[in-house]
Amino acid sequence: MAKNRILKVEKLDIVLVSQNDSDYISLTDMARYRDAERTNYIIQNWLRTRSAIEFCGLWEQLNNPNFKRIEFDAFKNESGANGFSLTPQKWIESTNAVGIISKSGRYGGTFAHRDIAFEFASWISAEFKLYLITEFQRLKADENNRLKLEWNLQRTLAKVNYHIHTDAIKENLIPKELSKTQISHIYANEADLLNVAMFGITARQWRDANPNTVGNIRDLASLEQLVVLSNLESINAVLIHQGLPQSDRLVQLNKIAITQMNSLVGNKSLKKLE
């Protein structure tokens, strides 16, 4: 059961709990409105009436596929007789009912689904039932407002976290614009030319900076970076055929890498592939 909530009705504290996504109200607490010393007697006195049995039986038939109707019919036929008595425990065990439950512990007692609890409240007093329903509705309204507030807070935090996340991605994944020294440097390996355009360093420089890391610079690249690297390979081949010097190709490849990474970061379609 979930955390107890309290309904304040006519100076009585009535416990409300949740079970299987439904609200159950303490009949024991409600019975104190009639007789604080004999709550069990009050509940049994109500449950033995034909109207109570018929109502509880109908509720079970509508909500409980495992309800034992034969046993229910036997109780209904016996109801009204002077010698007939029925405890909540006997009702639960005999009919496999779920609308009424027994709970032990500090806040123990007999609890009933709110539909049945309101019916019990009618038997106690029409005035009491009205106060109970009013308090119950107030509590549920407060809970709904709190849930809306929490949802809006979570939504706001999600937006903030999204921006923090995307900013972090941009800071760590978007290639930096190369310096004049990097541009003027001659790279013997065309693969390293692409590494510098994409990551800002050569494969050797990356290994020296990460001596204990398994794999190479491309093994640890993100999906977005690998996509851009593949594009850069094709573009570099075209630029080579055009006869562009390596330094000029490096400048163009670096600019293309920056542009494409900005486009790919946060791309929903690409994220589904990860």
Across the range 122-147, mean pLDDT stands at: 89
Look at 157-166, 211-220, 230-239, 259-268 and tell me which has the smallest mean pLDDT.
Answer: 157-166
Q: Are 170 and 146 in contact (CB under 8 A)?
A: no
pLDDT in tens, 140-158: 888 888 777 766 666 655 5
Which of 36, 10, 2 minimizes the C-alpha distance to 132? 10
The Cα–Cα gap between 47 and 51 comes to 9
CB atoms within 10 A of CB 75: 21
Position 169 scores a pLDDT of 42
Residue extents of the structural domains in the chain: 5-139, 171-271
Position 1 scores a pLDDT of 42
Across the range 5-19, mean pLDDT stands at: 89
The Cα–Cα gap between 251 and 245 comes to 10
Work out the pLDDT band at 88, boundaries 50, 70, 90.
very high
Distances (CA, A) of 124 to 27, 86, 111, 129, 136: 11, 18, 15, 8, 17
More confident residue, 186 or 17: 17
Look at 48-52, 69-73, 120-124, 165-169 and tell me which has the smallest mean pLDDT.
Answer: 165-169
Which of 168, 166, 164, 267 minimizes the C-alpha distance to 224? 267
Position 162 scores a pLDDT of 45
**E strands in the chain:** 5-9, 12-19, 22-26, 100-103, 109-113
Work out the pLDDT band at 105, boundaries 50, 70, 90.
low
The structure's pTM equals 0.54
